[in-house]
Every structure is written in structure tokens, then in C-alpha cells.
Structure 1
Amino acid sequence: MDNFKIIVATGNKGKANEINDLFGEKFNVMTMKEVGIDADIIEDGKTFEDNALIKVRTIRPLIPDDAHTIILSDDSGLCVDALKGGPGIFSARYAGEEATFEDNNNKLLKAMKDIPLPQRTAQFVSCIALIFPDGEEWTCRGTVRGRIALKEIGNNGFGYDPLFIEDKTGLTYAQLNINEKDNISHRAIALKKAYRKIKTKYNI
């Protein structure tokens, strides 16, 4: 492959920006909207891997036959131990189908209001799925452990970032700048695995 093109099956600009930060120098990374795809993706899988594969499989038939195009998707979420792994795969719509980040965060804080900080353990999970031009499908997972804060802390990031205190730094994702988050986040871990897979497959 001489010209590497990656189409990301997402409308989430935050996710797309994180992917572009890691892949942008050597790959032409575009969202599905940027290439004119407006697909109704029904995420009805039972795992992060299921939903990530649903996304790439849904948009693949909508992309012109191009030997240089890799399709990538991410399905990620917050799994809280005290909530038996919830909200999990329902993280983006935890407070409803049209929920905002603020709606979801408020619902999570309410659900956790009686749980002391030592028991507010959780993990962020990201599953990356790829479909290569030859039809090969591949997935990987990245996870980061932490705790749920008692209130929102920090102004960076998106989603649950102001509530997730990462174990190693003791800071919420929202307190980290882009470079700091890219070095340690669940999505960064999974994307780096995907990056290595692509490099190995094409000997670059």
C-alpha cells in the first residue's frame, strides 16, 4: 500500500481527534462523515468487540472499492465495579438515547452518591476493530483502571473524563492535556496495538 487511508466509523469528534493524533503523521485519517457516509449504525452487540465490529461492517459496503482503505472503529465505555460493570456498553446512552455528556455524568454521580471513594473503583475500556482491504477483521482491547471522583474535576477531554481518576497519576482524564492522555488512556493503548498491527501487516 502506497497511500494509507483510514476511515473511522464515528461521528464523535473527540474520538476522531485522538485517533488522528496517533495516526495522523503517516496515515490519512478521516471520519465517515468527511467521506460522505451517513449510516444508521445500530449498536446491539453484547460486548465492546461486538459493537466495534458492527460499526466497521456497517460502513464497509458504503465505501467505494479501494485497495488502500482501512476501516477503523472504536467502541468504548466506563465499567464501574459497584454498578456491576455498568454503564459498560451503554456508556454513551446511559441517561437516554439523546443524553449529553452532562446528563450521563449527573446520572453516574447520583448512582454513586452513597459509595465512598475507596469503593468507587472502575475501568475504562476501549475496543478497536479494523477491516483491511483484503477482508481481514481484527480487534484489540485497551483498559485503564481508576476510580470515580466525588464530583467533576478538570476541563479537558469529553464524556466521563472529569469523573475518572486514573490510578497511576491520581488525576482525572480531564486534568490531563492531550499529550498526557494520549500516553496513558485506554483508547491510546488500543490504538497503539492497532497501529502495530497495521505496520506489521504491511511491513512499514
Structure 2
Amino acid sequence: MYNIILATQNMGKVREFEAMTRAQTPALPIRWLSLRDFPQITELKETGDTFRDNALMKAEQVARACGVPAMADDSGLVVDALNGAPGVYSARFAGEPKDDRRNNEKLLKLLQEVPFEQRKARFVCVLALAMPDGQKFFAEGVCDGVIATEGRGDGGFGYDPLFYLPAYEKTFAELPAELKNKISHRASAMEKMFFLLRVLLFPEPEPIRRPNL
């Protein structure tokens, strides 16, 4: 079993990664740890201007502190009518401390006069994998949707109750977890990262070379 630390305290994210890993064929022998397993790491800096900057910043801090491969995601909601906000500030959109309910309320208030056809948005996820030897790798995923006029559904977390997918006529929070884990921005990024992990952590054995006769 290969240990990789997810640079997060959010157990919802950890469960999503675990579910996506179990769905791989063939299965990858990865055990996902979280910052809850490393209480000595109290706070991670994420002061970058982009999702990529923040993801790498978090992953490198954890990899250096623990000497174990670390993965971090920086995800956020990008709303066209708000010029890309909340973007990298998605988790703290309504200020400190982080609060999903207040974030959603602020988003709805800012969009209350915006018609449905102009409420296009997308979830973006950038994954960064930092290795103890200094190597770093990235994968990105995007999921397009629309901001609903009210929250719907009890599943997921964050902005999921407001993120409506017209193709399914449901919000992220209304979708079964197994479907969300196939179509989400995080799932898209993780599929690309799984490919990298297979190459990096579980390379194919060298082919047997026939000697020259």
C-alpha cells in the first residue's frame, strides 16, 4: 500500500478521493491520509493568485514536513457574471471563518438580479502532486454549470446545492455520489492524475530483452 497525504482537513474531499480510487481498474493500492493524521501541521499557507499556485504551495509544504508524497487540490467556483469571482477565494467568499452557508447566501445575493441564462459558472480543480525529492506534477479539471436561484439537495458540500447541471436537471447536491464522482471537476482532474500516479508509483517492469545472438 502506497501512502499519499491529501493536504486537507476536509473529510468530504478525502471520501471522494477514496471512492474514485476504488473505482479504478485495475485498482491502485493507495491509502489516502489527511492532515487529521498529522496534527503537527496546524496551518498551510495558500496566498497564491491562481488555483495552480495555491495547490502547489499546499502540497509542497506537506511533502517537506512529512517526507511523503503529498497531493493538494485548489478548487473553486468561477462565475461569469461576477467576472470570475469567487475564484481562489471560494472557501472564504463571505469572510472568516469559512462557512458554506454564508458563502452561498452571499453568492445568491450578488446574483439576485441576474437572469438564469446569464448565471453560467464552472467549477475548476487543479491538483498538485509534490514528491519528497522535489518533483511536482499537475492535473486540471473543469465542470460547467449554472448557478441556481435557490439551494437544492442535501449531498456534497460547499456550493454544491447551488451548482445546477442542465444535462441532469439537478444540482451537484442532488446527484448520487457515484455519479458526481464521475463527472465533477475533481473527478476530471483526478482521472488525469491517476494516469500520472500509475507511471510514477507503479511503473511497468522493464521488458525482457532478447540477447544478441
CA separation of 1:48 and 1:200: change in aligned 2, threshold 3 A: same
Question: CA separation in 2, counterparts of 1:165 and 1:152?
Answer: 9
Other-structure match for 2:55? 52
1:115 counterpart letter in structure 2 = V
Question: CA separation in 1, counterparts of 2:191 and 2:14?
Answer: 14
1:98 counterpart letter in structure 2 = P
- Alignment equivalent of 1:10, drawn from 8, 11, 18: 8
1:195 counterpart letter in structure 2 = F
Question: CA separation in 1, counterparts of 2:84 and 2:113?
Answer: 17
CA distances 1:3-50 after superposition (whole Å, capped 9, x unpaired)? 311110001111111111122562111102213342321211010000
Aligned residues: CA RMSD: 1.4
The alignment's TM-score, normalised by the length of structure 2, stands at 0.88
Matches within 5 A, 1:79-118: 79-118=78-117
* Partner secondary structure for residue 42 of structure 2: coil
Instruction: Give the conservation status (yes or no) of the 8 Å contact 2:64–2:132.
Output: no
Other-structure match for 2:124? 125
Other-structure match for 2:45? 42
Moved more, 160-169 or 178-187: 160-169
Question: CA separation in 1, counterparts of 2:61 and 2:194?
Answer: 22
Residue 199 (structure 1) aligned with residue 198 (structure 2): yes
Question: CA separation in 1, counterparts of 2:167 and 2:122?
Answer: 13
Question: CA separation in 2, counterparts of 1:159 and 1:82?
Answer: 19
Q: What runs of 5+ residues in structure 2 fail to find an aligned partner?
A: 205-213
Question: CA separation in 1, counterparts of 2:30 and 2:40?
Answer: 19
Q: What runs of 5+ residues in structure 1 fail to find an aligned partner?
A: none
Instruction: Give the conservation status (yes or no) of the 8 Å contact 2:63–2:132.
Output: no
The alignment's TM-score, normalised by the length of structure 1, stands at 0.92
Question: CA separation in 2, counterparts of 1:139 and 1:37?
Answer: 26
* Partner secondary structure for residue 69 of structure 2: strand
Residue 152 (structure 1) aligned with residue 151 (structure 2): yes
Deviation for aligned residue 1:167 = 4.0
Percent identity over the alignment is: 38
**Count of residue pairs brought into register by the alignment:** 198
Structure having the higher Rg: 2
CA distances 1:135-160 after superposition (whole Å, capped 9, x unpaired)? 21011110011100000011110100
Moved more, 147-156 or 166-175: 166-175
Other-structure match for 1:23? 21
Other-structure match for 1:166? 165
Question: CA separation in 1, counterparts of 2:75 and 2:40?
Answer: 22
CA distances 1:81-114 after superposition (whole Å, capped 9, x unpaired)? 0000000000000000203110000000000000
* Partner secondary structure for residue 70 of structure 2: strand
